Structure 1
Amino acid sequence: MITLIDSHSHFDDDSFSADREAVLARAQSVGVIRQIVPAISAGLWYRLREVCKQYSGLYPAYGLHPLYLPEHRQQHLDQLAQWIEQEQPVAVGECGLDYWVADLDKSEQERFFIAQLHLAREAHLPVIIHARRSVEDVIKQVRQIPGSYGVVHSFAGSEVQARQLIERGFYLSFGGPITYPRANKLRRLVQTLPLENILLETDSPDQPLSTHRGERNEPAYLLEVLQTVAELRQQSPVEVATMTNRNTITLFNLSL
């Protein structure tokens, strides 16, 4: 059986509270044996930590997501520094910039993002970046902080932007959106970018695949993401799984 790592899953989300063990069992039954679980706000760090402790194969990352900007406070950045030191997460995140939601203050988003880039660099950790309609500004910020590295999850930028990020040591992650036949730009990217810089994700419970429209997404569906990538690239699923697993292990410094 092919084994896989979901590089971006919000497995601590409330939507899994009623059947979390069954969701995990379904994932493991199809080979999804490990998950990177990024945080979204300080108030949920405790729950995320406990979920990752309770179940094997879950690796926490702590950060402040731009969509939850109204919840973030300056002291949360100080707390994040403490959590990073005490908990030794695999990454800082989810952090970044979101320009799709009009009423989120861009300058405040930028301030929290830059602060988290600095924290990650100081801790020698990768960042997990959310970049929605903001890839150019994300590139601008990581350029200004030498030594920044990580992954832009659910990447939706251009090929030029993708290659700029790759040159700076970033990986790009793809999930459910590439399974939609009309997602031509994304599907071309998956075909043309070096496999050495690609990760696979579900972003569970969000971004359902084309075969699960309107449903809760879950880590077990990563197998379908793998199959789509393999078909688009005309490579075997084993080859794609082997390389993307290696990429994920390298980026997050996971033990084998």
Structure 2
Amino acid sequence: MRLFDTHCHFDFDVFSDDFVSHLQLAHEQGVERIMIPSIGPSNWDKLLAMSAEHAGIYTALGMHPYFLSGDSFFCFADLKKQVDAHINHLQAIGECGLDAMVDVDHEIQRQVFNAQIALASDHQLPLILHSRKTHNEVLQLLKKHKFSFGGVLHGFSGSYQQAMQFVELGFYIGVGGVITYPRAQKTRKTVFDLPLENIVLETDAPDMPLMGYQGKPNHPAMLVHILSCLANLREMDEQTIAQITWENANQAFKICE
């Protein structure tokens, strides 16, 4: 069984004590490929170095809405330089998007997100989207740019109708630990109804702990439990889901199998 964690912040300090051991633990659970999206200028260089050093580690450069500030738009020139310089080593732009739940000026979020959509279009790269309570606005901006290179809507929590609007724009839906919580009925129903061909798996480690693991750092090795939960929800065998979501993830990021 080959698994692809399409969203994991494997560069965070919680994994830095013995990164090779953490990577080996993920491999032992079948996680062969891991996408590490950036949060902003603070970790661009580190992610590029990690992806160059370790097979199966892929990266995206971008500016996460949670970490923006008043001068973030002026940092965009630095992002463009990094992308231009490392275009052959990148699989996407992101993590980027909008978040209505953080104390960051919304107009700054819009400006920086708009710029990243345009940057992804210019380089024909997919986007890794972050959207909390902003699905309609994110969709509006993607359509305004006529963005056509797809990507992944990370950490999806919403309705089937919302998910399919992103699918229609070429995006895959990132399914993670939320589905392990029985109370997340709307998301679990959406994941049950969505075509499997539109789903990819993710952990968002060290965040988004699974049911029963609250208070502990999440880990890419936990992806196998998300797979198991999805198989139970859809009443399908794990191997079939693993194969389809593996293919989906590679297609989303234009990675040769």
- Between the aligned partners of 1:90 and 1:47, the Cα distance in structure 2 is 16
- Please, what TM-score do these two structures have when normalized by structure 1? 0.96
Displacement of 1:147 in angstroms is: 2.8
Whole-angstrom CA distance in 2 between matches of 1:120 and 1:53: 21
Question: Cα gap change, 1:254/1:205 in structure 2, threshold over 3 Å: closer, same or farther?
Answer: same
* 1:210 match: secondary structure: coil
Superposed CA RMSD? 1.2
Unaligned runs of 5+ in 1: none
Q: Distance in 1 between matches of 2:151 and 2:70?
A: 24
CA deviation after TM superposition for structure 1 residue 51, in Å:
1.9
User: 2 CA distance for matches of 1:196 and 1:158?
Assistant: 17
2 CA distance for matches of 1:186 and 1:158?
7
What's the CA shift for 1:72? 5.5
State the AA in 2 paired with 1:108.
I
Equivalent residue letter for 2:212: T
Q: What corresponds to 1:201 in structure 2?
A: 202
Amino acid at match of 1:107: E
Moved over 4 A (4+): none
Q: Distance in 1 between matches of 2:168 and 2:232?
A: 26
Structure 2 unaligned spans of 5+ = none
TM-score of the aligned structures, taking structure 2 as reference length: 0.96
| Alpha-carbon distance in 2 for matches of 1:164, 1:105 | 26
- Return the letter of the residue paired with 2:78: Q
Equivalence for 1:250: 251
Which residue pairs with 2:159 in the alignment? 158
**Which residue number corresponds to residue 112 of structure 1?**
112
Summarize deviations over 1:152-182 as a string: whole Å, max 9, x none: 1011122111111111111110111111111
Distance 1:9 1:254 in 2: 17
SS at match of 1:61: strand
CA deviation after TM superposition for structure 1 residue 252, in Å: 0.4
State the 1:237 CA deviation.
Answer: 0.6
Cα distance per residue 1:193-232 (max 9 Å; x no partner) = 0111101000011101113111000100000011111111
- 1:128 and 2:113 are equivalent in the alignment: no
Partner amino acid, structure 2, of 1:216: P
CA contact (8 A) 1:63 1:94 kept: yes
